[in-house]
Chains A and B, each alone.
Chain A
Amino acid sequence: MENMSSSSTQFATSRQMGIYEPFRQVSMWKDTFGGDNLSYTGASTIGEVDAKLENKFELVSHESVQPSGNDEEGNKSSDKAQRRLAQNREAARKSRLRKKAYVQQLETSRLKLAQLEQELERSRKQGLYVGSPLGTSHVGFSGTVNSGIMAFEMEYGHWVEEQHKQNCELRNALQAHAADIQLRMLVESALNHYYSLFRMKADAAKADVFYLVSGIWRTSAERFFLWIGGFRPSELLTVLLPQIEPLTDQQVLDVGNLQHSSQQAEDALSQGIDKLQQSLAHTMAADPMSGDTYGSQMAAAVEKLDELESFVSQADHLREQTLRRMSSILTTHQAARGLLALGEYFRRLRALSSLWAARPCEPV
């Protein structure tokens, strides 16, 4: 173990010195394994081979690249050595290119960061409270910083990437006519992935329910369809139904019932939210002349916002129940097709949002 750490320090030094890194790495391994302190039989063989090659490298790198014609064995090994050397050069070149790209990325990020800091300073001067600059980048709708929301934004970004991956796997499996067992696993993962989003949203709602309900965490086209912080259960069924034919008679009955009951639940929650809006508006619009009720007015309003959180919770609960019920009605293959369609639907909405954002602006 001691050897390992020493070789890594040497490694770091050689990088700074800009010497062919793989070349140094070869000698490192020799240092690490060639010694007697490791009773690892395999390693000593590698050490021996590497020791031989290292000698050849040193020979070839310091002299002109001319294999000696006399010794045939010498020819073969110097050919190998030359190939090795070329490979090393190539690897080193690639390594240098990667390093260059990385440095360029860092430079761009640094510029962007400077720009953002400037904007932040400007906004702060204009009187908008944006919080401390230390490691906080999220500016919520209300202008205050919220770590719970920052965490959610990051997690959601990962969630979308993972969703895309899973969808690709589903598509491949379906195209390859994979066995039901394999499809079942993919279906379960996809469903669990949706359920995990609902849990994430529950945490975000506690941090800032307005953030969730505003849909700012989604793309613009998705936001158009937003219903209490997410997709409508009826929308879910609209997307799934064309993909799951043919259905058995029992399935037709069950799906029909599900459409009916989810629509009723959706309508009930919609009416509840409408009442909440009315109630909040009423509270906010109370007599402006009586200044002493301002405090109680605000207190009443804040209580209403707790109700908003429970509506978001119930809406997500409804989404989850609808998904679960649907998956219990469908066969594995149908569920796979349905989930693929659903994932694709959201992906297309996101793509639409990007297209729209990138459209050329007309001259004024």
Chain B
Amino acid sequence: MHYQTESWGSYIPATTMTVGGDPLERIERLASESAVVIFSMSTCCMCHAIKRLFCGMGVNPTVHELDEDPIRGKDMEKALMRLLGNSSTAAVLPVVFIGGKLVGSMDRVMASHISGTLVPLLKDAGALWL
């Protein structure tokens, strides 16, 4: 698992990042950069559980800790909330994207795994090879 961290001390505009950009666009861009993308909060234990789930399956997800992005984190969290149709910020995170497409929160991921649809999804996205 590798973490995408922004170092605000030495800002390197390596990609087409715009500080004032649309959070939803940013989410979609980040989501399409890897096979499995998790938007998380470093202090959130449910996020920890979902990371353990993917690691246990042999998947290597890209994790974006929104609380470690002081400027855009909050906006992204709100954008994700709207995307999921949640009415409150309570337990929006973790949010999982596979193959650039939104899967959802812990309950959707678990339901998908139990029903057997998660593994084919991961294979299609190239996150699993067995």
Contacts and interface: CB of A to CB of B under 8 A. Distances in A.
B114 interface: yes
Contacts of A258: 114, 116
B114 A268 contact: no
Interface in A24-66: none
Contacts of A130: none
A311 B106 CA distance: 10
Interface string B49-65: 11011001100000000
A75 interface: no
Interface in B32-73: 43-46, 48-50, 52-53, 56-57
Interface size range of chain B in the complex: 20 to 34
Nearest to A280: B45
Contacts of B110: 265, 314, 317-318, 321
B43 A264 contact: no
A76 interface: no
A268 B50 contact: yes
Contacts of B90: 306
Contacts of B91: 306-307, 310
Interface string B104-124: 001100110111101100000
A121 interface: no
Contacts of A304: 45
Contacts of A271: 48-49, 52
A269 B113 CA distance: 14
Contacts, number: 76
B115 A325 contact: yes
A119 interface: no
What does DSSP make chain A's interface, helix, strand, loop or mixed? helix
B45 A265 contact: no
B111 A279 contact: no
* Max chain B C-beta neighbours (<10 A), residue from A258, A271, A272: A272
A269 B56 CA distance: 12
B53 A257 contact: no
Nearest to A307: B45
Interface in A260-281: 261-262, 264-265, 267-269, 271-273, 275-276, 279
Of all A-B residue pairs in the complex, the 5 with the closest CB atoms, nearest first, are A272-B49, A268-B53, A321-B114, A276-B45, A271-B52
Interface of B: 43-46, 48-50, 52-53, 56-57, 90-91, 106-107, 110-111, 113-116, 118-119
Interface of A: 254, 257-258, 261-262, 264-265, 267-269, 271-273, 275-276, 279, 304, 306-307, 310-311, 313-314, 317-318, 321-322, 324-325
11 contacts: A261-B116, A272-B46, A272-B48, A272-B52, A273-B45, A275-B49, A279-B45, A307-B45, A307-B46, A314-B110, A324-B114
